[in-house]
């Protein structure tokens, strides 16, 4: 593929992982989590086109095999997501009927979920579930414990124009790209979520005048809606031949470069990444263990690719110091949401930066996932 022209077809970003570590930079990469110190460092970047990927490396991690991801649980039939009012969702793990309070039929911004499995279930903001009356995305990070009652699940629609057919959902194995994910996780507004889907990116680094240098633009999406994805379904838009044929070569190139670099590690594992587009450090996804990162890697990888497709080429490059600065803990407005004995979700906002941490409270306190965002607008 011609390197000069290829950027018009996409670039690459990655999200990897370790949540127990995000707050640690100010103390030289050390944080007390679950009573044990964790050490990590931000490594030199892997660069390709307009993307710089800074691996976050750790020498310690926690055991996260006792948690299930949404895709794993849906695929194994250990979790069920349905429109409100569906009879199957009225039954608990042991098949006993359970009433769902104030259930009044299907709702755009609320589904119902039951965890039938033997492991707590991790949900991340921006994960896509496909089917039902419209495709939806999870609105926020949370944990669903084993044996939980069928519960209302807050979601956002990413498919406009269809409200019919099925009631059940399957895992789409997709994470919406950062511009959309930000609007769900931070803004919590349906209209902004849909605006981000239509525009490709909400970054102010990509004004309309740069439309010819990017693949995913409002005009492009409009054309795809009219031809290959008439209901404006997110996964149909981004799986069309026009987009998918651009995403995959970039995914493969970054995977190759990343594997080559990380194969040289000794005594450390990749536990996260910081992502920069051009000179802007924009995003990080950090998990509690390399094992948990690997489970989320495929769809996180492609989400960053799609974001890169929508952003213009830039000769600027973020430095290692820029990435380290981005990872410094925020001091600002803090809010905490929790379910006693299950999880705590902490959010800190300072200017255009937002930091969100999902902490599991059982079987012990551990920060399973952290994300940090340089807001696009």
Residues with Cβ < 8 Å from 216, sequence gap 6 or more? 200, 201, 243, 306, 309, 310
Task: Express each pLDDT in 266-303 by its tens digit.
Answer: 889 998 999 999 999 999 999 999 999 899 988 998 99
Tell me the percentage of the chain whose pLDDT exceeds 70. 74
pLDDT averaged over every residue in the chain: 79
DSSP helix/strand/coil, 315: coil
CA distances from 354 to 22, 58, 141, 320, 348 (A): 13, 23, 14, 20, 6
Flag whether pLDDT at 241 surpasses 50. yes
Q: pLDDT tier at 19 (50, 70, 90 boundaries)?
A: very low
- Identify the residue with better confidence: 27 or 129: 129
Least Cα distance to 292 among 311, 316, 322, 271 occurs for 271
Structure tokens that stand for 116 in this block? 């039938």
- pTM as predicted: 0.81
Query: How far from chain centre, in Å, is Cα 187?
Result: 15
User: Taking every pair of C-alpha atoms in the chain, what is the biggest distance, in angstroms?
Assistant: 60
For residues 91 and 150, is the Cβ–Cβ distance under 8 A?
Answer: yes
Tell me the torsion sign for CA atoms 118, 84, 152, 355: positive
Cis peptide before 305 (omega within 30 of 0): no
338 vs 148: CA distance, rounded Å: 15
Q: What ranges make up the beta strands (E) of the chain?
A: 30-33, 36-42, 46-48, 51-58, 68-69, 79-83, 110-115, 121-123, 127-131, 136-138, 142-144, 151-157, 169-175, 269-277, 280-287, 333-339, 343-350, 353-360, 366-374
Structure tokens that stand for 167 in this block? 């009631």
For residues 303 and 178, is the Cβ–Cβ distance under 8 A?
Answer: yes
324 vs 161: CA distance, rounded Å: 43
Lowest mean pLDDT among 16-20, 95-99, 119-123: 16-20
Q: How many residues would you count in the chain?
A: 377
Q: Which pLDDT score is estimated for 247?
A: 87
Query: How far from chain centre, in Å, is Cα 163?
Result: 25
Q: Which pLDDT score is estimated for 6?
A: 39
Q: Which pLDDT score is estimated for 162?
A: 53
């Amino acid at each position: 593929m011609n390197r000069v022209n290829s950027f018009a077809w996409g670039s690459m970003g990655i999200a990897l992982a370790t949540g127990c570590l995000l707050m640690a930079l100010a103390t030289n990469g050390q944080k007390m989590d679950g009573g044990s110190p964790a050490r990590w460092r931000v490594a030199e970047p892997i660069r390709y086109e307009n993307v710089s990927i800074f691996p976050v490396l750790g020498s310690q991690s926690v055991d996260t095999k006792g948690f299930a991801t949404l895709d794993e649980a849906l695929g194994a039939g250990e979790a069920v997501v349905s429109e409100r009012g569906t009879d199957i969702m009225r039954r608990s793990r042991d098949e006993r009927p359970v009433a769902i309070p104030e259930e009044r039929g299907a709702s755009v911004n609320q589904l119902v979920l039951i965890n039938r499995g033997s492991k707590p279930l991790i949900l991340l903001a921006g994960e896509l579930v496909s089917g039902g009356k419209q495709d939806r995305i999870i609105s926020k990070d949370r944990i669903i414990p084993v044996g939980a009652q069928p519960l209302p699940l807050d979601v956002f629609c990413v498919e406009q124009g269809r409200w019919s057919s099925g009631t059940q959902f399957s895992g789409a194995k997709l994470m919406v790209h950062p511009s959309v994910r930000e609007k769900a996780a931070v803004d919590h507004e349906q209209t902004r979520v849909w605006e981000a889907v239509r525009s490709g990116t909400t970054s102010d680094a990509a004004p309309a005048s740069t439309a010819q240098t990017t693949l995913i633009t409002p005009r492009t999406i409009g054309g795809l809606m009219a031809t290959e994805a008439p209901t404006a379904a997110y996964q149909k838009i981004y799986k069309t031949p026009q987009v998918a044929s651009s995403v995959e070569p970039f995914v493969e190139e970054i995977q190759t470069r990343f594997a080559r670099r990380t194969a040289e590690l000794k005594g450390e594992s990749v536990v996260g990444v910081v992502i920069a587009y051009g000179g802007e450090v924009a995003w990080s996804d950090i998990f509690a263990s390399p094992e948990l990162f690997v489970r989320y890697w495929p769809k996180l990888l492609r989400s960053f690719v799609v974001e890169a497709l929508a952003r213009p080429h830039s000769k600027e490059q973020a430095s290692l110091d820029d990435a380290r600065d981005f990872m410094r803990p925020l001091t600002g407005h803090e809010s905490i949401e929790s379910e006693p004995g299950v999880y705590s979700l902490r959010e800190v906002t300072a200017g255009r930066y937002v930091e969100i941490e999902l902490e599991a409270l059982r079987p012990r306190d551990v920060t399973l996932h952290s994300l940090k965002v340089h807001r696009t607008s």
